[in-house]
Structure 1
Amino acid sequence: MSTEIIAITLLVGAFALLMVLRVGIGIAMGGATIITMLYLKLPISVVFQGMISGTKVFTFMAVPFFVLAGELMSGGGISKRLIHFAEALVGWVHGGAGMVNVLASMFFGGISGSAAADTASLGPIEIEMMTEQGYDKEFSTCLTMASSVQGMLIPPSHNMVVYAVTAGGVSIGALFLAGLVPGVFLGLALMVYSYYIARKNRYTKSEKFSLKRVLKTGWTAMFGLMTIVIIVLGVSGGIMTATESAAIAVLWSFVVSVWIYKDMSIKDYYKIATKTVKTLSIIMILIAVAYSFGWTVTYLGIPKMIASGLLALTSNKIVLLLLLNIVLLLLGMVMSMSSIILILTPILVPVLTALGVDLVHFGVVMVLNLGMGLLTPPVGGVLYIGSAISGVKVGRLTRSMVPFYVLMFSVLLFLTYVPAISTFLPNLVLGR
């Protein structure tokens, strides 16, 4: 057996074993990398040099700013204002409470970029609102969780930033624009399903439509929604880099939360900053360790081997994209989203390039795919948050989520095989 084969077996085997033993993903990647380096008699200093290099990428500085901006808006009173605005817009139709849930998540997700923050912040309000109007608690919770995935598609999304850097040379501005239409498309699909369920079960409507209320709540919510405008126009228009736009978004979020909405004090900021640092410590450690792990993977020629293997299996683009989606869905059930993006993206790029798949388009597909993993056991973080805030057991929620899994997978396949939905806007605005 050749040295390369033994090294690959050690790398993959050690990583898999540590994951089975429920060791943290960062430790699993780092431990497998060091074991492989020792076998290859390469200096261990390469691991630590790679970790430093992985975090010195300027674009990655956007990630801390985006996370902080999302936390500021989450704790700064934006949640209830977005729900009031969404209720004024669609709360008067059949299934209105469900549509309010989806629309509010669409707005809030575009600010926070986090499905977990969306569910934790909006969930208690949305679930109570829906159950008061006669909706089943399981359905209300499942809709809240499913709609939260929109936030990872609608900019700003720090996962899109991580994908852009890991894929190498992919425009963040193009990715942000590419996620807008799919995010709205997913929201519309969930709204249609909510309407169907409301009609079927004869759920009540809320108060009548009022243009005055729409204008009033829209004006109040506008200050929070301006965060999306600042980021999208700034990055896609070439006025700012992603990092610069994220920094400005933090400043704007702070001003809105403290001096406009006045729902947050300076003292509250320290709690939010502490929470952000805890979140970022996990993300940045993963980025650092994944860089060394990725270097080892590339050194052993694994991406080329996988690309050749997949293309030898079938040259049919439709079949290969379906296989990739299934693999990502399965991995999303047992691994964290950022880990999969960091590990798999460099491996998949040669395959996608050989197939002629637009990397911007696939970025949208990958983020939506892995977003579904947040809603599935055994490690779906959003699933557990939904269970905690609603009081419904995880097992019952998982069973109730089945129609949503089917709906979201259908949307995923549609986006996979109709790339124009993702690429239309960046092509139009950026002239790609």
Structure 2
Amino acid sequence: MDIIPILVLVLSFVCFLAIGVPVAWSIAISALLTMLVSIPAMPAFTTISQRIGTGLDSFALLAIPFFVLSGQLMNKGGIAHRLIAFAKTLVGALPGGLALINVIGAMLMGAIAGSAMASASAMGSILGPEMEKEGYSKEFGAAVNITSATTGLVIPPSNVLIVYSLASGGVSIAALFLAGYIPGILTGLFLMIVASFWAKKKKYKLGKRSSLREVFKTFIVAVPSLFLLVVVIGGIVSGIFTATEASAIAVLYTLLLGFYYKEISFKSLPSILLDSSATTAIVMLLIGTSMSMSWVLSYESIPQNISSVLLGISDNPIIILLIINLLLLFVGVFMDMTPAVLIFTPIFLPVVTKLGMDPVHFGIIMVLNLCVGLCTPPVGSVLFVGVGVAKTTIEKVIKPLIPLFLAMILALFLVTYFPQLSLWLPSLFDL
């Protein structure tokens, strides 16, 4: 095994990140330097440029800008307010009621918008002040908001699951979407249990119990928003349209819903489109550069070498999955989710498939694992959004975050070692 390309790739990438080079450029330059070890400069430059371009040449990737735009429209279109009102009638009277509302609201928002940052921003800005008014600490509210926002990346529709489908060589997006439901809901339930115990320990105020009439009334108001789930996921699973077509339908539906609620006007559309374009540009640059690095990994036979090393350690699936999970948890601390999925899927997927694991199951494990990294410094994007919205600091949020982290990791290990939590729903639809 030639160790030099691996050393050049890893050391250059870590050094660039350490000196503050943006992640996308760190990926591209370290991939280029690795190529320069093996081939002359001109072919190396042209190959990396070509791979960045061809990495974006995928019909499935068209779903990402559409889902990003639909997420922005939902965020501005008053959907979050209606989902929170519905969640409040369900769990508002339980211990830690407002924290539980945050978790349920984030799960519903994530299931509709598919964006952790949009969910953290919407839930934090609406529920944060209300939680403070009821006596909850600002830091506890921020911690709940940050961790619960990530459930939307597992519960479909999810841009990251689309990226995994691309990186894995075409795993069914419909199967991945269905596989995400139970793990996402399970994670949300664990977060709710921890939040409820914490609130009981701190003796936070209980809310008033809602009548069945109030529950029904808020549900009716939330139905148009929730119906998007039926349209998008139902259409994909039944084969009426692809994930890309579903994303375009989601944009049209949320736009009409925003106008119907009178929360969006023609005057506000340019800023929404601009924000969506900026987010899409960042994501697409990360995808393009990550695809170039994935190609370099394959060219240098790095996945095969790592696979041999891992399988040389043990052929026990329990041990191998534990090692992969620990490595991904470490990676998630330092790398954003999209490049991590694109770079490490080609490395670890061959290992787990040799052990007989379903690629759909592994995709859910990977995304659920990397969700933890979004809540940790130094590059946790959801952490920064949640802390910024709550107007607090990372240092103060760490203490209430720790038990919530443990809840997420417990959910991860249950999903890892009980495959049917992921595979049962896809099997019902023969996917």
**Mapping of residues 340-359 of structure 1, within 5 Å:** 340-359=340-359
| Deviation of the 1:41 alpha carbon | 2.5
> What is the rounded CA distance, in whole Å, between the counterparts of 1:415 and 1:41 in structure 2?
43
| Deviation of the 1:400 alpha carbon | 2.2
1:327-371 Cα distance to aligned partner (Å, 9 max, x none):
111111111111101111111111011111111111111111111
2:68 match: 67
Q: How many residues align?
A: 428
2:389 match: 389
2:83 match: 82
> What is the rounded CA distance, in whole Å, between the counterparts of 2:4 and 2:361 in structure 1?
36
2:221 match: 220
1:412 match: 412
1:26 match: 24
2:5 match: 7
| Residue from 31, 37, 40 that aligns with 2:38 | 40
1:185 match: 186
Q: TM-score, normalization: structure 1?
A: 0.95
| Deviation of the 1:208 alpha carbon | 2.4
| Deviation of the 1:201 alpha carbon | 3.4
Instruction: Please state whether the residue corresponding to 2:334 is helix, strand or coil.
Output: coil
Instruction: Please state whether the residue corresponding to 2:180 is helix, strand or coil.
Output: helix
> What is the rounded CA distance, in whole Å, between the counterparts of 1:194 and 1:290 in structure 2?
36
Q: Is the 8 A contact 2:175 2:360 kept in 1?
A: yes
Over 3 Å counting, the alpha-carbon distance change for 1:212 and 1:30 in structure 2 is: same
1:399 match: 399
Q: TM-score, normalization: structure 2?
A: 0.96
| Deviation of the 1:75 alpha carbon | 0.8
Instruction: Please state whether the residue corresponding to 1:175 is helix, strand or coil.
Output: helix
Instruction: Please state whether the residue corresponding to 1:92 is helix, strand or coil.
Output: coil
| Deviation of the 1:89 alpha carbon | 1.7
> What is the rounded CA distance, in whole Å, between the counterparts of 1:326 and 1:69 in structure 2?
34
Letter in 1 for 2:28: G
Over 3 Å counting, the alpha-carbon distance change for 1:39 and 1:221 in structure 2 is: same
Q: Is the 8 A contact 2:331 2:340 kept in 1?
A: yes
> What is the rounded CA distance, in whole Å, between the counterparts of 2:401 and 2:195 in structure 1?
13
**Mapping of residues 139-158 of structure 1, within 5 Å:** 139-158=140-159
> What is the rounded CA distance, in whole Å, between the counterparts of 1:74 and 1:391 in structure 2?
20
> What is the rounded CA distance, in whole Å, between the counterparts of 2:253 and 2:123 in structure 1?
21
2:373 match: 373
1:295 match: 295
1:315 match: 315
| Deviation of the 1:14 alpha carbon | 2.3
Q: Is the 8 A contact 2:70 2:254 kept in 1?
A: yes
Q: Select between 191-200 and 159-168 the one with higher mean Cα deviation.
A: 191-200
1:100 match: 101
Instruction: Please state whether the residue corresponding to 1:266 is helix, strand or coil.
Output: coil
**Mapping of residues 263-274 of structure 1, within 5 Å:** 263-274=263-274
1:160 equivalent in alignment to 2:158: no
| Deviation of the 1:424 alpha carbon | 0.6
| Deviation of the 1:35 alpha carbon | 2.4
Over 3 Å counting, the alpha-carbon distance change for 1:199 and 1:168 in structure 2 is: same
Q: Is the 8 A contact 2:194 2:404 kept in 1?
A: no
Instruction: Please state whether the residue corresponding to 2:239 is helix, strand or coil.
Output: coil
2:205 match: 204
Q: Is the 8 A contact 2:89 2:214 kept in 1?
A: yes
| Deviation of the 1:191 alpha carbon | 1.9
| Deviation of the 1:93 alpha carbon | 2.7
Q: Select between 118-127 and 8-17 the one with higher mean Cα deviation.
A: 8-17
> What is the rounded CA distance, in whole Å, between the counterparts of 2:321 and 2:131 in structure 1?
38
| Deviation of the 1:277 alpha carbon | 0.7
> What is the rounded CA distance, in whole Å, between the counterparts of 2:227 and 2:251 in structure 1?
12
> What is the rounded CA distance, in whole Å, between the counterparts of 1:204 and 1:28 in structure 2?
48
**Mapping of residues 39-58 of structure 1, within 5 Å:** 39-41=37-39, 43=43, 44-58=45-59
Give the RMSD, CA atoms, in angstroms.
Answer: 1.5
> What is the rounded CA distance, in whole Å, between the counterparts of 1:400 and 1:93 in structure 2?
19
> What is the rounded CA distance, in whole Å, between the counterparts of 2:112 and 2:289 in structure 1?
28
Unaligned runs of 5+ in 1: none
Letter in 2 for 1:406: L
1:16 match: 14
Unaligned runs of 5+ in 2: none
> What is the rounded CA distance, in whole Å, between the counterparts of 1:202 and 1:397 in structure 2?
19
Letter in 1 for 2:176: L
Instruction: Please state whether the residue corresponding to 1:203 is helix, strand or coil.
Output: coil
1:91 equivalent in alignment to 2:92: yes
> What is the rounded CA distance, in whole Å, between the counterparts of 1:201 and 1:30 in structure 2?
48
1:79-124 Cα distance to aligned partner (Å, 9 max, x none):
1111111111221233322211111111111112111111111112
Over 3 Å counting, the alpha-carbon distance change for 1:206 and 1:7 in structure 2 is: closer
Q: Is the 8 A contact 2:148 2:188 kept in 1?
A: yes
Over 3 Å counting, the alpha-carbon distance change for 1:203 and 1:298 in structure 2 is: same
Q: Is the 8 A contact 2:349 2:362 kept in 1?
A: no
